[in-house]
Structure 1
């Protein structure tokens, strides 16, 4: 069971991403990953999520040429918002949340 501090830091990885998309979560993960497996898990999960959904966003931007991207881009944006909020809630509850459709690179 993760400590209360670990849960707050893991939730902060997701929460700070609304202000600093990449740098904030990366700094928290790099500083705290050796202190807790729970923080390490959520840091890796968020960074994999960020990479995956950046690829999805790029593909949907390319698909605007054939007009389907105008439908896909808002869907990808909405999924990013929803999965970030759900990830923060699950991290604060002490659960290990696996975000759907993510490439596990890290």
Structure 2
């Protein structure tokens, strides 16, 4: 039987913001929380997969932006957009998780 723990779902979403504070951890911490709690916490599997897919997608967008810097500086715009998206949507989805709603990360590829 799975327990309902909205606080852990919220923390999992907000742990993505560790990248802004420490420079790393925004992928590792949610991954560890998801892998260790997906069978114990209700909806953790759905939320964890959405977070991991979102983090991988952001990484791909950053990789695409790097060569675009040489093309009229479009890569800089890409970095700014990825930064804003990477800051706003974990917060939005933490609120959604607290309200018992499904996660929704736009521009996210389905890898997991």
Equivalent residue runs for 1:1-80 within 5 Å: 3=4, 5=5, 7-19=6-18, 20-66=25-71, 67-80=73-86
After superposition, residues 85-104 of structure 1 pair within 5 angstroms as 85-104=91-110
Deviation at 1:36, TM superposition (A): 3.3
How many matched pairs? 103
Q: Distance in 2 between matches of 1:46 and 1:21?
A: 10
CA distance in 2, matches of 1:26, 1:70: 28
Alpha-carbon displacement from aligned partner over 1:11-65 (angstroms, at most 9, x marks no partner): 1111122222122111110111012340110000000000001101111122001
Give the aligned CA root-mean-square deviation in angstroms: 1.4
Question: Which runs of structure 1 show a deviation greater than 2 angstroms over 4 or more consecutive aligned residues?
Answer: none
Distance 2:66 2:42 in 1: 36
**Aligned mate of 1:82, from 82, 85, 88:** 88
Normalized per residue, which structure has more helix?
Answer: 1
1:16 and 1:102 mapped to 2: Cα distance?
A: 18
Q: Secondary structure at the match of 2:70?
A: helix
Gaps of 5+ in 1: none
**C-alpha displacement of 1:102:** 0.6
